[in-house]
């Protein structure tokens, strides 16, 4: 009988050990090893044609490491043509700056793409290569809760350009 009791105690000990190691493994895999979500990012985007006329100026909210997609359809205004635009942004950390990969399609045309390095709160402008009319993409990115974030929102509220 003593051997039966020892066997049960040994099984119980190994069972508890397995449970403890299983919980510890799950915590390290799904808990601490998961990247903490960063603060939201505000993207102030301007798309301009070759003459410098503003075609679209959306603001988007996203986060680092997550792809952002926008489909925009603007009706013709008193001083503007109708615009259909598709924009993909993929922001990720690169050194001390943010690297943003972009794909832009205008009025159902072929998508143009590239990447740019952006300093938080600073305007970055790139010529977007591709077929058709040359385009310029202006981008300002700011983390939520920073002075740059507040500056972008205030400029948009007042209808002024974001600098």
Sign of the C-alpha dihedral computed for residues 63, 64, 67 and 70 taken in this order: positive
Residues 59 and 132 in one domain: yes
- Which pLDDT tens digit goes with each residue over 42-99? 999 999 988 888 888 899 999 998 999 999 887 766 666 778 889 999 999 887 789 9
* 47 in any annotated domain: yes
Sign of the C-alpha dihedral computed for residues 118, 67, 72 and 110 taken in this order: positive
Residues 72 and 148 in one domain: yes
Residues 111 and 138 in one domain: yes
The percentage of residues in the chain with a pLDDT greater than 90, rounded to a whole number, is 34
Residues 24 and 57 in one domain: no
Domain count for the chain, please give it.
Answer: 2
**pTM of the prediction?**
0.71
Paired strand residues for 83: 74
Residues 108 and 129 in one domain: yes
Residues 28 and 47 in one domain: no
Give the mean model confidence (pLDDT) for residues 113-139.
Answer: 89
Q: How far apart are CA 9 and CA 140, in angstroms?
A: 65
Give the mean pLDDT of the chain: 83
How sure is the predictor about 29, in pLDDT bands with cuts at 50, 70 and 90? low
**Radius of gyration for the alpha carbons in the chain, expressed in angstroms and rounded:** 26
* 163 in any annotated domain: no
Residues 30 and 47 in one domain: no
pLDDT on residue 75: 76
Q: What residue numbers bound the domain in which 54 lies?
A: 41-158
Residues 80 and 109 in one domain: yes
Q: How far apart are CA 20 and CA 26, in angstroms?
A: 10
- Which pLDDT tens digit goes with each residue over 84-93? 889 999 999 8
Six-digit token pair at 56? Answer: 């679209």
Q: How far apart are CA 138 and CA 161, in angstroms?
A: 11
pLDDT on residue 34: 47
Judged against a pLDDT cut of 60, whether residue 1 lies above it is answered with no
Judged against a pLDDT cut of 50, whether residue 17 lies above it is answered with yes
Residues 25 and 57 in one domain: no
How sure is the predictor about 38, in pLDDT bands with cuts at 50, 70 and 90? low
3 state SS for the chain: CHHHHHHHHHHHHHHHHHHHHHHHHHHHHHHHCCCCCCCCEEEEEEEECCCCCEEECCEEEECCCCCEEEEEEECCECCECCEEEEEEEEEEEECCEEEEEEEEEECCCCCEEEEEEECCCCCEEEEECCCCCCEEEEEEEEECCCHHHHHHHHHHHHCCCCC
């Amino acid at each position: 009988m003593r051997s039966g009791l020892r066997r049960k105690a040994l099984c119980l000990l190994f069972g508890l050990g397995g449970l403890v190691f299983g919980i510890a493994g799950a915590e390290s895999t799904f808990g601490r090893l998961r990247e903490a979500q960063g603060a939201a990012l505000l993207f102030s985007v301007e798309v301009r044609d070759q003459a410098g006329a503003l075609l679209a100026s959306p603001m988007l909210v996203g986060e680092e490491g997550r792809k952002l997609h926008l489909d925009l359809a603007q009706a013709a205004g008193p001083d503007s043509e109708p615009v259909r635009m598709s924009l993909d942004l993929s922001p990720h950390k690169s050194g001390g700056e943010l690297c943003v990969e972009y794909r832009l399609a205008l009025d159902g045309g072929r998508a143009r793409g590239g990447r740019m390095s952006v300093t938080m709160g600073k305007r970055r402008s790139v010529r977007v290569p591709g077929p058709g009319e040359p385009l310029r993409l202006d981008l300002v990115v700011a983390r939520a809760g920073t002075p740059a974030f507040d500056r972008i929102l205030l400029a948009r509220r007042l209808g002024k350009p974001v600098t």
